[in-house]
Amino acid sequence: MAMSVEQKHTRFVLYQRSLQVLRVYIPLSLFVLITLFPFYWMFTTSLKTNQELIYVRELILFVRNPTLAHYRYLFHETNFLRWLVNSLVVTVSSTTVSLFCGVLAAYALSRLRFRGSNVLGLAIFVTYLVPQTLLFIPLTRVVSQLGMLNSLWAMILTYPTLLIPFCTWMLVGYFRTIPVELEECALIDGAGRIRIMLSIVLPLALPGVLSAGIFAFTLSWNEYLYALVFSASTTIKTIPVGLPTELITGDVFYWGSLMAGALLGSVPVAIFYSFFVEHYVAGLTAGAVKG
């Protein structure tokens, strides 16, 4: 018996929905589960008792006897809150400095024509590729001569050496997506370069600036090598350095407190991403299309 047109249409719609589930929703759900699993693992580990952490023969994905002892130890027996404040101060300061310098350098390289501009742009990009393991030794000497060792200023000064080249390289590609004709019209009307950059270029390039800011914020927050080298005192350490150096003594690992600190330390970055995720995606898309 032949099917009617409505039945064929219904079968076609069901077929399209089934394909959509197989191609989109199932892979996306697996990706979300894989992405969120480390956070779930940190959360459950931070709530387990030491007995549950030691005897792992039982189910380790769930918590039978949840406890907040590891959080109490983290807040009362360590300087975690001080590390958190240090991380915020260093990250916000270095990100602000890096974005300011990166915007100026990227605008100059993408719009101004001067002798050696291409070489300078390539040099900035190559600087970003230099490993930190080669830079921290001369930077230590510089910081020592400035009298900033074992201080937050040492990290605020050295983090931009990594962030400024990255922000500049990322923003150059985004500034080039903005039509030059807009700036030429403003120049004809008598506006200067600074006025044009502040009133025309930056508002249009806001997604790219926010994308660079998110990357700079994340790199600063997770920086380990420079923070380890320039922070000898416990009160100067940041979260990435304080957790492994203070909660690992010899062959003793305070896993519960480590996971609690790692979970709480990832919250500021997650909040930062959640506010600017739309601009972040827009900035990456525009920069990638132009690049």
Residue 246 neighbours by CB distance under 10 Å: 20
| Residue 234 and residue 158 share a domain | yes
C-beta of residue 140 within 8 angstroms of C-beta of residue 155: no
pLDDT digits (tens, 9 = 90+) for 208-222: 888 888 889 989 999
**Reported pTM:** 0.81
Question: Tokens 């099917």, residue?
Answer: 3
pLDDT digits (tens, 9 = 90+) for 57-114: 655 777 888 899 999 999 999 999 999 999 999 999 999 999 999 999 888 888 877 7
| Residue 37 and residue 99 share a domain | no
| Residue 155 and residue 40 share a domain | no
Sequence-distant (6+) residues with CB within 8 A of 174 are 106, 205, 207, 208, 209, 211, 283, 286, 287, 290
> Considering only CA atoms, which of 81, 70, 123, 103 is closest in space to residue 260?
70
| Residue 60 and residue 165 share a domain | no
Among 50, 67, 84, residue at a domain's last position: 67
- Biggest alpha carbon–alpha carbon distance for the chain: 91
- Asked whether the predicted pLDDT for residue 288 surpasses 50, the reply is no
Beta strands in the chain (DSSP E): 248-249, 252-253
14 band by pLDDT with thresholds 50, 70 and 90 = confident
| Residue 172 and residue 51 share a domain | no
Residue 147, token pair as written in the block: 């009298």
| Residue 258 and residue 132 share a domain | yes
| Residue 173 and residue 83 share a domain | yes
| Residue 254 and residue 210 share a domain | yes
| Residue 112 and residue 9 share a domain | no
CATH number at residue 261: 1.10.3720.10
Structural domain count of the chain: 2
Residue 41, token pair as written in the block: 């693992």
Compute the average pLDDT of residues 14-38. Answer: 82
| Residue 253 and residue 123 share a domain | yes
Domain that holds residue 28: 5-67
Output the pLDDT for position 35: 86
pLDDT digits (tens, 9 = 90+) for 166-182: 888 888 888 888 888 88
> Considering only CA atoms, which of 183, 135, 173, 200 is closest in space to residue 284?
173
